[in-house]
Amino acid sequence: MTKTRGNATNGAEAMVRLLEAHGVRHIFGLCGDTTLPFYDALYRLDHGMQHILTRDERCAGYMADAYARVTGRVGVCEGPSGGGATYILPGVVEANDSSVPVLSITSDVAVSSIGRYPLTELRQDELFCPLTKWNGVINTAQRLPNMVRTAFRAMTTGRPGAAHLGLPFDVQKADVDPEDIWAQPEFGSYPAWPSAPQGAAIDNALEVILAAKNPVMICGGGPVLAGGEAALQAFAERLNMVVATTVSGQGTLSDDHPNHLGVVGSNGGVPATRAVVDAADLVIFVGCRAGSVTTERWRSPKPSTQVIHFDSDPMVISANYRTQVAVVADIKLAFEALNVALAAQGAGTVNFGGDRRVAAAKAIKFRDFGALARSSETPIRPERVIADLNAVLPSDAVIVADPGTPCPYFSAFYKVPHSGRHFITNRAHGALGYALGASIGAQIGRPSSKVVSVMGDGSFGFTVGELETVTRYNLPILFIVFSNSVYGWIKAGQKTGFDERYYSVDFNRTDHAAVAQSFGVKSWKVEDPDELTRVFEQAVNHDGPTLVDIISQPLQDAQAPVSEWVA
């Protein structure tokens, strides 16, 4: 148990002390009238936390999300009542459905004024209830400490997720018992109190795996969230097994590991990698929901394929595939147990030859990619951007990608030479505008790494105002904009699925470099692909924020690794 320093006398001070006691170091948010007592407490108290003032509550949520992903700690965002509470929702729901612990604190009108039509009144409890793992409005100061502790416990145990606390104005000013201001420190990071697997489940899973002829492991975000990369890698190497990932599962193995097939599914998968999954006689889903994108709408693997499923959340197991063996446990603990059981088998352990199948599929994949990545065509091909950037960035760089043009290309072809969290994208709901704000949270959470934010020009328009936040804190983020004047994902869908009936998807070109320069960001505009490497090198070596505006090929004319667009 962690006690706080000093005495808290009111709800706002108690909230500050409780965040401090849970190990919070950064808070992302935006001020409002109903938040004034909380801000005053942050000003007056010695707590060691840094408040990052954002220009938009939505981006505060995205910052907290990416911050939590790179640090392993709870991300905290806050905003005012009314519009602030509604604006912060996209970041909260993305974090929750991506199993990322983010605490959203929204101040509220006074409890005494509820029902009297005060400005910004709304039912915050009802608003956040379907979007969070745990949610509550603190209607009395006496309940505040316990509700904060409950929120942290809910976010970090079991399947991690988001929580919301409504903090009314009068509760912030009411008295709180100082003796009740304490925290369970384990709940400041995740996964807290992970659950070990049942021995019988491990034995059954290993028996089925060793009896297979051609197994493939498909890993979602679970291994990285659990810190289970090393244990999983050891198991895969011992059996020489094929390991594929979802977009969210990138980082389970390094991209150059001989057993790593890469991303599979309809976003980032290619025919050569899909064929490996389709040929499997056993698919092992690991921390993966086996959703529509990962499985090509439940066609790959085939529904008849034998399945083992590992996950900390029992509700995702057998939701889409009949499961022969279910292992409900923390992924790290599950694979540590598997390795112990495998070692007990002694000599004669099978070799599945996964490295050969991976090498053959990757040779085809990168042969096709290489031909486009060397192209000097204009507008610039996205493949050329990926290849030139991969050659310039340091090995520990963190890529934050929006779900439009960047996501499939980076998922399929960008090579990260390390396991762990080096690629972030919002795959739960895929809202445009994620990458710019999220990159701020990633850079603050991992200041020693080069953070790169990649987005289309549609996404840039959503959240461009946060460039002021970037320059105010002088964050050395590299922003890359694929400029093609179109909502490209939709136009590509109209081309392939609706006989090229293009409707309301094109917009005017913006000089993104000029816009960024007006915020104080050093910027370049690139139209010649042969200029990319030189510009990227200058941008990476600059000691402040930079932006490269690339006049690029639109998705409807490209050869993106998205199966629904492939004839």
Q: Is the pLDDT of residue 197 over 60?
A: yes
- The predicted pLDDT at position 415 comes to 95
Residue 236 clears pLDDT 90, i.e. is over it:
yes
Reference 62, options 98, 38, 9; nearest CA is 98
The two structure tokens encoding residue 157: 């145990």
Residue 483 DSSP label: E
pLDDT tens, 20-79?
999 999 999 999 999 999 999 999 999 999 999 999 999 999 999 999 999 999 999 999
What residue has token string 């999220």?
A: 438
Q: How far is residue 231's CA from residue 253's CA, in Å, rounded to a whole number?
A: 11
Task: Give bridge partners of residue 562 from the DSSP assignment.
Answer: 267
Instruction: Name the one residue in this structure whose structure tokens are 């911050």.
Output: 67
Given this structure, which CATH class describes domain 199-357? alpha beta
- Residue 4 pLDDT more than 60? no
Task: Name the 3-class secondary structure at 210.
Answer: helix
Dihedral, 25, 30, 32, 38 alpha carbons, nearest 10: 0
Task: Check whether 275 has a pLDDT greater than 70.
Answer: yes
Q: Report whether CATH 3.20.20.70 matches the domain 2-188.
A: no
Mean pLDDT of all residues in 89-100: 98
At 428-470, the pLDDT tens digits run 999 999 999 999 999 999 999 999 999 999 999 999 999 999 9
CATH homologous superfamily of 374-565 equals Thiamin diphosphate (ThDP)-binding fold, Pyr/PP domains (3.40.50.970)
* Location of each CATH 3.40.50.970 domain in the chain: 2-188, 374-565
**What is the length of the chain?**
567
pLDDT score, position 175: 97
Contacts of 206 (CB under 8 A, 6+ apart): 338, 341, 342, 345
Answer whether 278's CB lies under 8 Å from 299's CB.
no
Rounded distance between C-alpha atoms, residue 534 and residue 527, angstroms: 13
Q: What is the pLDDT averaged over residues 472-490?
A: 97
Q: Give the model's pLDDT for residue 539.
A: 98
**Residues 351-374: pLDDT tens digits?**
999 999 999 999 999 999 999 999
pLDDT over 60 (residue 336): yes
CATH 3.40.50.1220 region(s) of the chain?
A: 199-357
Q: Mean of the per-residue pLDDT values for the chain?
A: 96
The closest of 221, 288, 218, 216 to 250, measured between CA atoms, is: 221
Is pLDDT above 70 for 8? no
For position 5, what pLDDT does the model report? Answer: 54
Q: Is the pLDDT of residue 7 over 80?
A: no
The average pLDDT across 214-219 equals 98
Give 127-149 pLDDT, tens digit per residue. Answer: 999 999 999 999 999 999 999 99
HSE-up (13 A, CA, CB side) for residue 137: 21
**pLDDT of 345 strictly over 90:** no
Query: What pLDDT score does 124 carry?
Result: 96
The answer to whether the beta carbons of residues 434 and 426 sit under 8 Å apart is yes
- For strand 215-219 and strand 282-286, is the pairing parallel, antiparallel, or unpaired? parallel
